[in-house]
Chain A
Amino acid sequence: EIVLTQSPATLSLSPGERATLSCRASQSVSGYVAWYQHKPGQAPRLLIYDVSNRATGIPDRFSGRGSGTDFTLTISSLEPEDFAVYYCQQRSNWPPDTFGQGTRLEIK
């Protein structure tokens, strides 16, 4: 079973700042990582798939990178609507638990 560990658990930043969220896998997940944004009471939203590909309609301030076991989601300049919980997901080893525990991005 592959375990995804996200860090930090909570990230406090101001609008306009750069956010860097980390996702580490317990073993290699190759190029099969996605990132989701989830706001309270709303549907989760696919941001990034296959490590670095933006989903349809996702602004280019969101970017993903990484390989093997270490992956990063970067938001280049935070907008007020970006404050949410972010989850990484792997699909290399399926079907187990696939999501990380989440990083809460809050307004400082």
Chain B
Amino acid sequence: QVQLVESGGGVVQPGKSLTLSCAASGFTFSTYSMHWVRQAPGKGLEWVALISHGGTSKYYADSVKGRFTISRDNSKNTLYLHISSLRAEDTAVYYCSRDFGELVVRYYMDVWGKGTKVTVSS
């Protein structure tokens, strides 16, 4: 079945870096754009980043621009999010999600993982 499984979260010190991964299965990964969305404790959903199906186009929320890098390896059916210079406000559950459109970006998200938790603390 269609599935996304995130990994790589944990407790990290402020200023350090971290890379999250999202393993996709059950669909043709290389034909879908992918998103990262996060949810801070007690807060709502916040869109973080989008990468096109081929990996050539990338978009970021203003709040993470310059520190977050989204990437993908279509040969491994895996999506990544590299976070540098971690801050306390980056503490959140990070979800990867599939864009609703195949080969064209629809900006809705129709498949989601269960998330990986990142805690930034000294």
| A-B pairs with beta carbons under 8 A, tally | 59
> Is residue A49 contacting chain B, with contact meaning CB distance below 8 A?
yes
Identify which of A16-24, A64-72, A76-84, A97-105 touches chain B: A97-105
Give A85's nearest chain B residue, CB to CB. B44
Q: How many interface residues does B have (CB within 8 Å)?
A: 23
Please, how many angstroms separate the alpha-carbon atoms of A55 and B108 in the complex?
Answer: 11
> Is residue A41 contacting chain B, with contact meaning CB distance below 8 A?
yes
Q: Which residues of B contact A (CB under 8 A)?
A: 4, 37, 44-47, 50, 59-62, 95, 97, 100, 106-110, 112-115
Known: A34-B108, A95-B61. A43 touches B45 (CB 8 A): no
Please, how many angstroms separate the alpha-carbon atoms of A42 and B45 in the complex?
Answer: 13
Chain A interface residue bracket vs B: 20 to 34
Q: Which residues of A contact B (CB under 8 A)?
A: 32, 34, 36, 38, 41-46, 49, 55-56, 85, 87, 89, 91, 94-102
A102 touches B107 (CB 8 A): no
Please, how many angstroms separate the alpha-carbon atoms of A56 and B108 in the complex?
Answer: 13
Chain B binding surface, main DSSP class: strand
A99 touches B45 (CB 8 A): yes
Known: A42-B114, A46-B100, A97-B61. A91 touches B45 (CB 8 A): no
Which of B50, B108, B115 is the one whose CB lies under 8 Å from A43?
A: B115
Give B3's nearest chain A residue, CB to CB. A43
Residues of B within 8 A of A97 (CB): 46-47, 61
Known: A44-B95, A46-B110, A97-B61. A38 touches B50 (CB 8 A): no
Residues of A within 8 A of B109 (CB): 36, 44, 46
B107 touches A91 (CB 8 A): yes
A89 touches B108 (CB 8 A): yes
Residues of A within 8 A of B62 (CB): 96
State how many angstroms separate the Cβ of A9 from the closest Cβ of chain B.
Answer: 11
A91 touches B114 (CB 8 A): no
